[in-house]
Amino acid sequence: MRSLSKILWGFVLIGIGIIIGLNSLEITNINLFFNGWWTLFIIVPCLIGLFDNENSKTGNVIGLLIGIALLCGTRNIFPIEWIAKLIFPTILIFIGLSFIFKSKFEKNISDKFKKETKNGLENIIATFSEQKVNKEKEHFKGANLDAVFGGVTLDLRDADLEEETLIEANSIFGGITIIVPKDVNVKVKSTSIFGGVSNKIKNKEDNKKVIYISCVCLFGGLDIK
């Protein structure tokens, strides 16, 4: 699915290049800088993001609706004042819908977290600060990571991991970095609102250990490497 998003980006760039070339040769006169053209920097990435399984669909849908609303506002299709009044409730509605209509993966992970939370997962919190935690030669079964206007770095390269490790990460105007061993698979489910997840891990069938990560990125990011 990630390759599909790259293909779509390729078509977008090719299309722009063709239009610029034809305009330069005076074969066509297509105005790329129409009233509200800047909204395409919101609409196009969010639209293509819907075809990327690595990131949440919720954030892309919200961004797409906001981009379309801004375009309609700049084109005087409806008053732009409506947008300012409706953006916040729209975001709340879609976040609520994303919580209600969870995928099977999310349900399984949610059940695992409920079970493990009773046993007590470690809490690592950075609020207007930075936390760097190295679990070298330590037994690690999971953690709750919270970065609020701050940063958290969790190094698990030399940690003693179980077959299934659970990590819940919340990045709000902050950043979280998780460094994992080479012999584990990583499965991520995210809800991203004006944020995102960068997962550099390539899963292999031979790896017996799995790290499950459930995250929320609100104007923040999660980096897995």
Instruction: Enter the tokens of residue 106.
Output: 């999310």
E strands present in the chain: 122-127, 130-134, 139-148, 151-155, 160-172, 175-179, 184-193, 196-199, 209-218, 221-224
152 pLDDT band, cuts 50/70/90, is very high
pTM of the model: 0.57
- pLDDT of 82 reads 78
Q: Look at 35 and 103; give whichever has higher pLDDT.
A: 35
* Average pLDDT of span 120-144: 87
Quote the percentage of the chain above a pLDDT of 70. 82
- pLDDT of 118 reads 44
User: Which phi and psi (to 5°) does residue 133 adopt?
Assistant: -120, 125
Q: Assess whether pLDDT exceeds 90 at residue 153.
A: yes
User: Nearest Cα to 166, choosing from 101, 108, 223, 94?
Assistant: 108
134 pLDDT band, cuts 50/70/90, is very high
- pLDDT of 177 reads 94
Q: Assess whether pLDDT exceeds 50 at residue 1.
A: no
For residues 159 and 155, give the distance between their C-alpha atoms in angstroms, rounded to a whole number. 8
Q: Look at 96 and 186; give whichever has higher pLDDT.
A: 186
Instruction: Enter the tokens of residue 77.
Output: 């299709």
* Average pLDDT of span 52-74: 75
* Average pLDDT of span 101-125: 60
Q: What's the chain's average pLDDT?
A: 80
Q: Assess whether pLDDT exceeds 70 at residue 100.
A: no
Q: Assess whether pLDDT exceeds 80 at residue 38.
A: yes
Q: Assess whether pLDDT exceeds 60 at residue 108.
A: no
